[in-house]
Chains A and B, each alone.
Chain A
Amino acid sequence: MTDARKHLNSRDFADTVAEEMIVSRSFWADARRRFLGHRLAVFSVFMLLALVLFALFGHHLARWSFEEIDWNVLGRIKTEGAPSLENGHWFGVDELGRDLYARVVQGTRTSLMVGFVAGPLAVLLGATLGALAGYFGGRLDQIITGLYTIWISIPYIIFFVVWQAFFGRSLTQMIIVIIIVNWTAGLLIVRGQVMMLKHREFVDAARMLGTSDLAIIFKHLAPNILWVIVIYTSIVIPEVIMAESLVSFLGVGIQEPNTSWGALISEGARTMTFGTLWQLAFPAAFFVIAQVSLYYIGDGLRDALDPKDRR
């Protein structure tokens, strides 16, 4: 007997095979396996985790607060405000002599918060409305899809500018307006999925048992469309972060002394003519790293969850 044959006949091998056959391969376990096989996506998860840790604990490493002005370098920012290990400004200072490292920590916190709070909430709202429209059909469906058509044909900047200008510029307002602007995210696809699923046997069975419509939607249909929602959330989060950065860049977003990536990039872009490039480089780098990571995480999730891509 060759070694290979010996191995195949061994007790060990039989046990492993048996074990593998017993472990059920549910949809989500399968998806997890596929996601972990996507190397870039896994790497991106770690990058994103690093950013989150930076946002949460980064200020412990700062020697200055994000509001404090360093009078020693003010007025000589071009020559002495550059990133330096000696005076504790790891990323240099901004045009007002405030520590850029502390401000980037603060900006990361704001941008990630807006993305990870407003993004999922907007998708949930859209998905709920989509599910209702798809499930009940008729008049309700017409109203919701009609509103959807109107909504997506209005450039979102209009809502941002009007809303922000008139209701102040706090973080909460920002999150609310982002949810209002993005409520259409994922609506159509969830509606389509629900329309397809509602004629399946398990829904009929639930209805025959006397389950109410809402219970059918949230208990029986929701788990089946969760994958769509997960994919959409992964697309919407970077979009939301980008939108927030754009309006903050335009000056109608987050208000001083609070800051976000967009506001920091805007300051950096304004001052780059003076040669203080670090003010643009650091916030832009953080923004780009976040976008790249989120892009690949989304890509990995799509590969893992979308039945069309399933191998």
Chain B
Amino acid sequence: MFNYTLRRLLTVIPTLLVLIVFSFYLMRLAPGGPFTSEKPLPPAVMQNVLERYGMDQPLYVQLWTYIKNIVFHFDFGPSFAQKDRTVNDVIAQGFPVTLTYGFWSAVFVLVLGIPLGIIAALRHNSIWDYTMTGLAIFSQIFPNFVLAPILVLLFTLSWGLLPGGGWNGGQWEYIVMPAIALGTSYMAGVARLTRGSMLEVLNAPFIQTARAKGLPERVIIWRHALKPALLPTLTYMGPVFVYMITGSVFIDVFFSTGGIGQDFIDGAYSRDYSMLLGLAILYSLLTFALNLMLDLLYAWIDPKVRSSL
């Protein structure tokens, strides 16, 4: 188990390297830069600016310095566009915000999705089941960027119950809508998947055996059916986390939460190299950490996987 974790931790290095090198060259080889404006700077000034940011060096030297600074000083460099802030500042300010509603969104996905799926499976072909399946299809068709405006329309503009954006130090009113808008379609996905695998497990021979020896239904479900039924859901959560991170960029922009998504998009507009690269690394690290957590959880639940590690 320990070895496995270590091996997984080591794979993050090539992944990040590919990402950094690819994005770095992609950005730098494109025409234009953070200091090109409609009125070009005088050559001497431009020269000074470039020197100030170390951009007069050959590309591979810059890349090497960039990587060295991250590894040894955990320094992602200064922002090119927001003059008085470093990328570290931006991350320290915005990341907790994104992480907070992201966490509540994940809670929403799992705490609502799994029970809904189980109920639908236990009441197979009942009104519960049909409502749930309908809801699942419905919310897969309404992605976050269609759902969020509708939520704001209802809860803010029509009923005035919740604020339509902002963060305000993370009061719960400000978290509700971002978390729901981000999570709904995955909640539906989790519910649908849990329903399917629960149905399959309930028809498996070992459940029939449990029934045959007269175990109460409660014990059958909690002790025997639940764990194997949740395995596919866990596998599904890996890609879901990746999508939720993408979704969080949208949520940050739409709800003006002050999370890192806004800075990421702004960085794209202003060609803020260090900002884009730093946040891309952060997003990838986050994805990686979440996936590792899931894999370990998977190994903990499934003895077959555990023994093969």
Whether A249 lies near B250 (C-beta < 8 A) is: yes
Chain B residues at the A interface, C-beta cutoff of 8 Å: 14-15, 18-19, 23, 26-27, 30, 32, 137, 140-146, 148-149, 152-153, 157, 239, 242-243, 245-246, 249-250, 253-254, 264-265, 267-269, 271, 276, 280, 283-284, 287-288, 291
The contact string, 1 if C-beta is below 8 Å from chain B, for chain A 270-311, is: 001100010010001001100110010000000000000000
7 A-B interface contacts by CB (under 8 A): A150-B15, A153-B242, A154-B283, A158-B23, A162-B27, A266-B145, A284-B146
Assuming A154-B15, A161-B265, what are 7 further A-B pairs, CB within 8 angstroms? A152-B239, A153-B288, A158-B284, A161-B249, A165-B276, A250-B265, A269-B145
Residues in B with CB closer than 8 Å to A65 are none
A-B residue pairs, 5 tightest by C-beta: A165-B268, A166-B30, A269-B149, A157-B246, A155-B245
Q: Which residue of A lies closest to B268 (CB)?
A: A165
* Residues A288 and B283 in contact in the complex (CB < 8 Å), given A161-B265, A251-B265: no
Q: Which residue of chain B is the closest to A147 with respect to CB atoms?
A: B18
A158 touches B283 (CB 8 A): yes
Contacts of A266 in B (CB 8 A): 145
Instruction: State the majority secondary structure of interface residues on A.
Output: helix
Tally of A-B Cβ pairs under 8 angstroms: 110
Is A189 an interface position by the 8 A CB rule? no
Distance of B287 from chain A, by nearest CB (Å):
5
Whole-angstrom CA separation of A127 from B243 in the bound complex: 23
A48 at the B interface (CB under 8 A): no
The interface residues of chain A lying within 8 Å CB-to-CB of B239 are 152
Q: Which of A157, A163, A292 contacts B141 (CB 8 A)?
A: A292
Contact with B along A217-247 (1 / 0, CB 8 A): 0000000000000000000000000100110
B249 touches which of A162, A165, A250, A277 (Cβ 8 Å) = A250
Interface contact B268-A164, CB-CB below 8 Å: yes
B250 adjacent to A269 (CB under 8 Å): no
* Residue A71 CB within 8 A of the other chain: no
Range of interface residues on A (Cβ < 8 Å): 35 or more
User: Among B19, B157, B246, which residue has its beta carbon within 8 angstroms of that of A156?
Assistant: B246
> Given contacts A155-B245, A249-B250, A269-B254, are A280 and B288 in contact (CB under 8 A)?
no
Nearest neighbor of A289 in chain B, beta-carbon distance = B141
Question: CB < 8 Å: which of B27, B143, B287, B291 contacts A242?
Answer: B143
Q: How far is the CB of A224 from chain B (nearest CB, A)?
A: 27
CB distance from B151 to the nearest CB of A (A): 11
A185 at interface by CB-CB < 8 Å: no
- Name the residue among B14, B144, B146, B242 with the largest chain A CB count within 10 angstroms: B146
In the complex formed, the residue of A with least CB distance to B276 is: A162
User: Is A115 an interface residue, CB under 8 A from the partner?
Assistant: no
Among B18, B264, B268, max chain A CB count under 10 A is at B268
* Docked-complex contact B242 and A155, CB < 8 angstroms: yes
Residues of B within 8 A of A280 (CB): 149, 153
A131 touches B (CB below 8 Å): no
- Give chain A residues whose Cβ lies under 8 Å from the Cβ of B269: 165, 251-252
Q: Is the CB of B250 within 8 A of A154?
A: no
Q: Which residues from B are CB-within-8-Å of A269? A: 145, 148-149, 152, 254
A154/B26 contact (C-beta < 8 A), A164-B268, A252-B268, A268-B149 known: no
Which residues of A from 176 to 217 have beta carbons under 8 Å from B?
A: none
Q: In the complex, how many angstroms separate the beta carbon of B143 from the nearest chain A beta carbon? A: 5
Nearest-neighbour CB distance to chain A for B199, whole angstroms, equals 15
